[in-house]
Amino acid sequence: MPGFELFGDQERKQVNDVLESGVLMRYGFDGMRNGHWKAVELEDAISKRMEVKHTQLVSSGTSALTVALASAGIGAGDEVIMPTFTFVASFESIIALGAVPVLVDIDNTLTLDPKKVKEAITDKTKVVMPVHMCGSMADLKALSLICKEHNLLLLEDACQAIGGSFDGKPLGSYGDLGCFSFDYVKTITCGEGGAIITNNEDYKINSDHYSDHGHDHIGKDRGAETHPFLGYNYRISELNAAVGLAQIARLDEFIDIQKKNYAILRNAIENIPGVEMRSVPDGGVENYSFLSFFMPDEVTARTTQKELVNNGVDGCFYWFDNNWHYIKKWDHLKDLKTLGKLPQEVVIGLPDYHMQDFKQSDHWLGRNISILIKLSWTEEEVKQRAEKMNEVLENILETAK
CA 20 from centroid of its chain's CA atoms: 33
Of 324, 326, 316, the residue nearest 369 (C-alpha): 316
Q: Are 242 and 29 spatial neighbours (Cβ–Cβ below 8 Å)?
A: no
- Torsion-angle region of 249 (φ positive above 0: left; ψ -120 to 50: alpha; else: beta): alpha
Residues with a known catalytic role: 186
Q: Are 235 and 60 spatial neighbours (Cβ–Cβ below 8 Å)?
A: no
Measured CA to CA, the distance from residue 382 to residue 396 in angstroms comes to 21
- Residue 398 host element (H or E): helix 379-399
Query: Which amino acid would we find at residue 164?
Result: G
Q: Are 71 and 177 spatial neighbours (Cβ–Cβ below 8 Å)?
A: yes
Query: Which amino acid would we find at residue 234?
Result: Y
Q: Is 141 exposed, middle or buried (0-12, 13-18, 19+ CB in 10 A)?
A: middle
- Give Cβ neighbours of residue 190 (< 8 Å, ≥ 6 apart): 182, 183, 236, 240, 241, 243, 244, 247
Question: For residue 6, what are the CA distances in angstroms to 12, 301, 385?
Answer: 12, 32, 20
Q: Are 349 and 77 spatial neighbours (Cβ–Cβ below 8 Å)?
A: yes
Q: How many CB atoms lie within 10 A of CB 118?
A: 17
Q: Are 126 and 79 spatial neighbours (Cβ–Cβ below 8 Å)?
A: yes
Our CA angle for 196, 202, 206, nearest 5°, is 60
Q: How many CB atoms lie within 10 A of CB 297?
A: 14
Q: Are 204 and 198 spatial neighbours (Cβ–Cβ below 8 Å)?
A: yes
Q: Are 313 and 371 spatial neighbours (Cβ–Cβ below 8 Å)?
A: yes
Query: Which amino acid would we find at residue 55?
Result: T
Q: Is 222 exposed, middle or buried (0-12, 13-18, 19+ CB in 10 A)?
A: middle
